[in-house]
């Protein structure tokens, strides 16, 4: 009798574990947006709003929305594309996107009853991080050399191209291993956008976008994956978001900008990159290879997108007030905590335009006061 129980128990445990394991592997896909296409706005209790979009901006919005702004924000970091879709289908109160809106997206959002407004919130940069023992941070590289490294024409660290840019530095003959993102990402889009702008060969062979076919190199999933791969592999180079690189004390290169200066990725040089960029009327600017002596060349921006008349688009008055309160906080007191999180704030000219855009937001024709 005892031995029968002893067999039955592990058999039952086996069955349960087998079912659990099947369930685990079946549901372990990456998170995705809930684009259910419902027409009811995603309102919750007063003082709480929902947002969806950019994974790059997620840490900042989650920090802003955890109470210091007075508004609680449920933010889903599902990616810029999914965030805009969530705003179009009204499953989120605001969308967050790194690249500016395409005309097709603007039209789709306008169909909800009110045109789209993009509010630039802050800036970020992409560092070229490397793992080369003996070489300190600040190795000088220019866009063409980085493109050649990723294309595979520059194969070792002591290649003549790199030596020419760094006269006093002893470079080992280690082979270069390039690391890139295996998943779709705005960081890839920003990095390839820069390389395609400075190197026509890169443009034709690889192109730019969220997903490109890299000629060789190792793919890693997520920002943390690239960072981990760079740390593990001696002689590797990878593109890592600035906030991550600064927080974890990576060694990164100083990249040559359009004016010819080698600039290290710092918060100041990132803000400088946005100074002097032409801002279109709908504020949908994209920084690609900026001019300006102190500008870091691989810089990106992020927006929050809402309808201009939130209530006409289906939001309740309290939600509209919450969104405006959140935006005003972000462009006001929120900018000062950005540097603590290693993100760069907007330069003064763009900041004032963003504040004007927020002031123009309305609820059923009347301005919203978020006090």
Partner 1 sequence: MEAASLPTGDRRSLLQRSPVARLPDRILKYGLTTLAALILILIVYFFIRLTGQAGPAFSKFGVFGFAFGNNWNVNIDHYGALPLVVGTLVTSILALIIGVPVAVATALYVTELCPRRIRTPVTILIELLAAVPSVVYGLWGLFFLAPKLQPAEKWVAAKLSFVPFFGGGSVTIPNDFITGLVLAIMILPIVSAISREVMATVPADQKEAALGLGATRWEMIRLAVIPYCRSGIVGGAMLGLGRAIGETIAVTILIGDEPVLGHHLFGQGYTLAAVVANEFGEATGLHRSALFAAGLVLFVLTLIVNGVARYFVTRAGRGTRVLPTGNAGGAAATAVAASGAGV
Interface residues with partner 1 (CB under 8 A) are 6-7, 10, 13-14, 17-18, 20-22, 24-26, 28-30, 32, 78-82, 85, 177, 180, 182-186, 206-214, 216, 218-221, 225, 228-229, 232-233
Q: Rounded to a whole number, what is the largest CA-CA distance in the chain? A: 85
Which lies closer to partner 1 via its Cβ, residue 25 or residue 40? 25
Can you tell me the distance from the alpha carbon of 229 to that of 178, in angstroms, rounded to the nearest whole number?
10
Which lies closer to partner 1 via its Cβ, residue 30 or residue 336? 30
Q: What does the DSSP assignment read for 220-238?
A: ESHHHHHHHHHHHSTTEEE
Phi-psi region of 162 (alpha: psi -120 to 50; beta: other; left: phi over 0): alpha
Can you tell me the distance from the alpha carbon of 61 to that of 18, in angstroms, rounded to the nearest whole number?
40
Which lies closer to partner 1 via its Cβ, residue 10 or residue 293? 10
CB 112 within 8 Å of CB 225: no
In sequence order, what E strands does the chain have? 48-53, 72-76, 94-97, 116-131, 140-141, 177-181, 218-220, 236-241, 251-252, 254-256, 262-263, 299-307, 362-363, 366-367
Which lies closer to partner 1 via its Cβ, residue 182 or residue 318? 182
Which lies closer to partner 1 via its Cβ, residue 186 or residue 334? 186
Burial of 35 (0-12, 13-18, 19+ CB in 10 A): middle
Closest CA to 60 of 210, 188, 184, 242: 242
Q: What does the DSSP assignment read for 333-354?
A: HHHHHHGGGT-BPPPHHHHHHH
CB of 61 to partner 1, least distance (A): 17
CB of 229 to partner 1, least distance (A): 7
CB of 224 to partner 1, least distance (A): 10
13 — phi, psi (to 5°)?
A: -65, -40
CB of 92 to partner 1, least distance (A): 15
- Residue 58 host element (H or E): helix 58-64
CB of 182 to partner 1, least distance (A): 4
CB of 169 to partner 1, least distance (A): 26
CB of 128 to partner 1, least distance (A): 20
Which lies closer to partner 1 via its Cβ, residue 14 or residue 107? 14
CB of 44 to partner 1, least distance (A): 24
Residue with tokens 């994974």: 55
């Amino acid at each position: 009798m005892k031995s029968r129980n002893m067999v039955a128990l592990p058999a039952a445990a086996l069955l349960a574990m087998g079912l659990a394991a099947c369930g685990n592997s079946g549901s372990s896909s990456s998170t995705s947006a809930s684009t259910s296409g419902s027409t009811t706005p995603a309102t919750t209790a007063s003082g709480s709003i929902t947002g969806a979009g950019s994974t790059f901006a997620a840490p900042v919005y989650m920090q802003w929305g955890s109470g210091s702004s007075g508004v609680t924000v449920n933010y889903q970091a599902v990616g810029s594309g999914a965030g805009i879709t969530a705003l179009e289908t009204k499953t989120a109160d605001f969308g967050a996107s790194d690249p500016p809106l395409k005309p097709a997206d603007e039209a789709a959002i306008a169909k909800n009853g009110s045109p789209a407004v993009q509010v630039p919130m802050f800036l970020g940069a992409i560092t070229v991080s490397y793992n080369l023992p003996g070489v300190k941070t600040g190795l000088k590289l220019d866009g063409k050399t980085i493109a050649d490294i990723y294309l595979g024409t520059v194969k070792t660290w002591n290649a003549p191209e790199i030596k020419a840019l760094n006269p006093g530095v002893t470079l080992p003959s280690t082979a270069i291993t390039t690391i890139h993102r295996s998943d779709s990402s705005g960081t890839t889009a920003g990095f390839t956008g820069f390389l395609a702008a400075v190197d026509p060969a890169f443009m034709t062979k690889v192109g730019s976008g969220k997903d490109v076919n890299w000629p060789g190199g190792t793919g890693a999933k997520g920002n943390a994956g690239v960072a981990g791969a760079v740390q593990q592999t001696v002689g590797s180079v990878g593109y890592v978001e600035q906030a991550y690189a600064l927080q974890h004390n990576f060694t990164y290169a100083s990249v040559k900008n359009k004016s010819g200066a080698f600039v290290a990725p710092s918060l100041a040089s990132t803000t400088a990159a946005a100074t002097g960029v032409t801002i279109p009327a709908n504020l949908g600017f994209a920084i690609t290879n900026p001019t300006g002596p102190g500008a870091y060349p691989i810089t990106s921006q992020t927006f929050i997108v809402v309808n201009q008349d939130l209530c006409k688009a289906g939001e309740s008055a309290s939600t509209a007030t919450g969104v405006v309160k959140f935006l005003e906080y972000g462009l006001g007191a929120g900018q000062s905590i950005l540097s603590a999180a290693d993100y760069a704030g907007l330069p003064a000219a763009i900041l004032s335009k963003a504040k004007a855009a927020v002031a123009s937001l309305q609820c059923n024709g009347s301005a919203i006061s978020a006090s």
